[in-house]
Each structure stands twice: as C-alpha cells, then as structure tokens.
Amino acid sequence: LCEACAAQKGIDVHAEPMDLSGMMESMKAQLAQLKESPPPRSSGPTACPGCGLTRTEILKKGRLGCDRCYEVFAAEMLPVVVSVQHGDQHLGKVPRRASERIKTSVELARLRRELDQAVAGENDESAARLRDQIRLLSGAGGAR
C-alpha cells in the first residue's frame, strides 16, 4: 500500500504525508507556541462571553468551551484548525433548519471545489456546467 499504488487506485494521497496519530500532539504544540506569543493586536476579549473560558485555558487544553468560542477566539483557533484538517471550508451536511443563506454558501463552496477539480482534470464539459450552476446559485442566494 505505497503512495504510488494508492494514487493509482484512486485513493487521494495528501501531498504532505503526516503521522495522524500525532495530530493532537501537533495541534497542542502549536497551541503551546501561541501561548508564548502575545495576544493578537486586536486584543479582543480574553474570556468567551458564552462560557467564560479564557484564552489561556483553551491554549492549555486544546478544547473549546462552547460554539461561541470559535468566533471569539477565531484569530488564534482558525490557523490551528486548518493546519490539522483537509481544508478550511465545511463541505458536508448542513442542518435542515439552517437558513437558506447558510445552505447556499456551503453548496457554493462544494460546487467551487468540484469546479477546481474539473479544471485540474481538464474536464471542460463539467467545468462549464459547474460554472453555470455557481452563477445561478450566487445570483439566487446572493451569498458571497
């Protein structure tokens, strides 16, 4: 199961091989580094108004306290999240009760990624179809 065979079998091999059992460790190391560095210049709130968790506690534990923490500490957390993930945009399921705006924005992100893949694979027909879909949806939803 070498990378070449995997690629041949159509298994997506990440450009940068990483030991994923060490994913948590790598995240913790990054958080520890952040702890050493001064707070971001914006010097936003030091504690989350949703749950009271402080920046220091988050950096220490590597866990967030509530959904609002993700907004409050976005400046610190986003780069860390993205570094241990496959991308920076959710492309999966959306709750049915989410607003149309949210549904459209995730759908557009999904189509844009498909478009990138179609372009990379020089699949002109799909690319054209996807561009149409994106144009239609952007117009209708007005998102982004």
Partner 1 sequence: MSPPKVSSRGRPAGTASVCRDITLSSRVRLARNLHGIPFPDRATSAVRAEVRKQGMDAARTELPLQEALADSTPLFRQQLFEDHLISRNLLEGHPESGVCMNAEHTRAVMINEEDHLRIQVLRTGFQIREAWEAVDQLDSILEKKLEYAFSPELGYLTACPTNVGTAIRVSAMLHLPGLVLAEQVNQIIQAVNKLGLAVRGFYGEGTEALGNVFQVSNQMTLGETENDIVERLTKVLAQLIEHEKNARAMLLEKQPKMVYNHIGRAYGILANAHSISSKETMNLLSLMRLGMDLELFPGVEHSLVNELFIITQPGHLQKQISEKLSAEERDLLRADMLRDRLQQVSRPRVPTPGAGGAPLDKPSPA
Cβ neighbours of residue 143 under 8 Å, at least 6 residues apart?
101, 104, 105, 108
Contact flag: residue 29 with partner 1 (CB under 8 A): no
128 binds partner 1 (CB under 8 A): no
What's the CA gap between 84 and 28, in Å, rounded? Answer: 11
- The distance of closest approach from Cβ of residue 43 to partner 1 in the complex, given in angstroms and rounded to an integer, is 22
Composition of the chain by helix, strand, coil, percent to 5: 60, 0, 40
**For residue 84, which amino acid is it?**
V
Q: Which of 66, 128, 136, 140 touches partner 1 (CB under 8 A)?
A: 66
| Candidate residues 25, 33, 88, 142; the one interacting with partner 1 per rule CB under 8 A | 88
Which positions lie near partner 1, rule CB under 8 A? 1-3, 5-6, 9-14, 17-21, 23-24, 27, 50-53, 62-68, 70, 77, 80-82, 84-98, 101-102, 105-106, 110
